[in-house]
Every structure is written in structure tokens, then in C-alpha cells.
Structure 1
Amino acid sequence: MKVTHLLTCLFLCLTSVVFAQDKPEVLAQKVADPWLALVDKGQYAESWQQASSAFKQQLTSDKWNEALVSVRTPIGKVTKRTLSSAQYTTSLPNAPAGEYVVLQYQSAFEKKNPATETVVMMKDADRQWRPVGYFIK
């Protein structure tokens, strides 16, 4: 009886871990974190390439580069970043219906501490999660 109970508990624990990894918030963060690392390294053209089609339609690679240089250069390098919230939604203001995850990070930069970074991820036409927005407050 104890062995059966133990096996049942083990199965339930493993199942919950597998399903938690399939949550949109988890899947979107797995894409957002390496994308943020590109931005942190100043690889702005590469970060633009990995962004969603909607992002690219709104902003050229050159404009993205200019925006990041003007925002990130004055605040220096990131020194700390911790995910504080992840919210799945199917609607955002001024955005078409779709699947989105809004990720908020509590961050610190060399010359701006504290800061809140928001990365908005969307499920693109190919069903892959990609960045569609990035903001620092």
C-alpha cells in the first residue's frame, strides 16, 4: 500500500512538472531570456531578427538600433534581472487579437537602479513565441 501511494505521488509530481513547462508563460520566458541577453550584449540587429513579424512591420532594424542605443547606453550594463511576473492574455490595448505573454523583470543597471523591464511576447504566425515589445521604466 505504501509503495502504491509513493508511486502515485511521484507520478503526480512528475506530471505537474511536465505540464508546468508547457504553460505559455514558461515557454515565452524561455525565448525572452536569451533575447534579452542579445540586447544586453548590444547585438541589436540580431535581436531585431529574432523579433516577431508584427514587431518588424512596425520598426526597421535601423530604428530599433537607434532606439536601443538611446535608451540603453545612458543606463549602462544590466547588473541584475529577476522575473517578477508573467501574464498570459489574448488581448492587449492597441494590438490585434492573439496570444501574448507580458513578462516583467525587476532589474538593475549600472546607472539606473531599480528598473522595471517589460518584454511582451506573442505567438507568431509560425506558432513560435517571439518578442513584440520591450520597455524600460
Structure 2
Amino acid sequence: MKTVCAVSMAILLICSGLSSVWAESNAEKKQVSAAEVWLHLIDDGKYAESWKEASFYFRGAVSEQNWVASLEPVRKSLGKLVDREIVKMEESSSLPGAADGKYVVMTFKTVFEQKKSAIETVTLMLDKDDEWRAAGYFIK
């Protein structure tokens, strides 16, 4: 009887641990997917659409016209996307200059036709509708 209880307890602990890992991996998948979908809009030259799909915070910080005007010349000069690989993800509840919330900062190693080694940083936030949306973007 003790053996059955011990085995049952071990299975229960393993299953609860796996569901926690699954939940984290499912949340991470949603974050990565949100970043990739948003970046593809930019890759396709759909700058205005990327602004519309960005977070409430992002749209309040920069106008659509300014976003397009600042992004278009930079991205066009880089040429087409060749490869993009995520190299780092960090979750945070606060970022400098932003209200507390749920954030994830993703760093990508990116290759463009005209720039063989670029680093893209996308900051996502959990928006008012509980969807992950872009709150910041930087290319180095």
C-alpha cells in the first residue's frame, strides 16, 4: 500500500511539473508567434499595418505617420530578410519609462541582404485585450 501511495504521489508530482512546463512553453509560443507575425508585417513593407497591430502603448507613443516615416528608410536600406533567429527572451514586470505590466524583450540575430549581422530587439507587452503586442522595436 505504501508503495502504491509513493508511486501515485510521484506520478502526481511529475504530472503537475509537466503541466507547469507546458503552460510556460505555451505562453512562450504565443509570445514568439506574436513577435514573428508582427515582424513579418515589417519585412513585407506593411509599416502602417504593423503600427495598427502594435500595442495600445506603442500607438499612443508614436503616430502612424511618424512610425512609417522613421521605419521605411531604415528597413529598405537593409534589403530583404535572409534569416532571423531568436537568441534571447526575458520577461519583466517593469521597463524604464513604461507603466508596470507584463513584458517580454526578445532579441533576434538577423541577416538582411545588405546587412549580414544585425540585432533586432522587439519588446512585447500583454495588451488590454490579453494579447501580446509589440511595444518597442530597435535594430542595431
Question: TM-score interval w.r.t. the shorter chain?
Answer: 0.7 to 0.9
Pairing 1:106-125 to 2, within 5 Å after superposition = 106-125=109-128
Q: CA RMSD in A?
A: 2.2
Report the residue type matching 2:46 in the other structure.
Q
Instruction: List structure 1 runs of 4+ shifted beyond 3 angstroms.
Output: 10-17
**Gap runs ≥5 in structure 2:** 1-6
Partners of 2:91 and 2:118 lie apart in 1 by: 22
Matches of 1:126 and 1:57, distance apart in 2: 16
Specify whether residues 73 and 21 from structure 1 end up closer, same or farther in structure 2 by C-alpha distance, changes over 3 A only. same
Alignment of 1:28-67 (within 5 A): 28-67=31-70
Question: Partner residue of 2:3?
Answer: none
Q: Percent of pairs identical after alignment?
A: 39
Counterpart selection for 2:90 from 73, 87, 90: 87
Aligned partner letter, 1:129: W
Q: Give the number of the structure whose alpha-carbon radius of gyration is greater.
A: 2
Residues 99, 20 of structure 1: alpha-carbon distance in 2 compared, 3 angstrom cutoff: closer
Q: Distance in 2 between matches of 1:117 and 1:40?
A: 12
The within-5 A match list for 1:7-46 is 15=19, 18-23=22-27, 25-46=28-49
Normalised TM-score (structure 1): 0.85
In 1, Cα distance between equivalents of 2:73 and 2:46: 14
Separation of aligned partners in 2, 1:12 and 1:97? 30
Which deviates the most, 103-112 or 11-20?
Answer: 11-20
The alignment of Structure 1 onto Structure 2 pairs a total of residues equal to 132
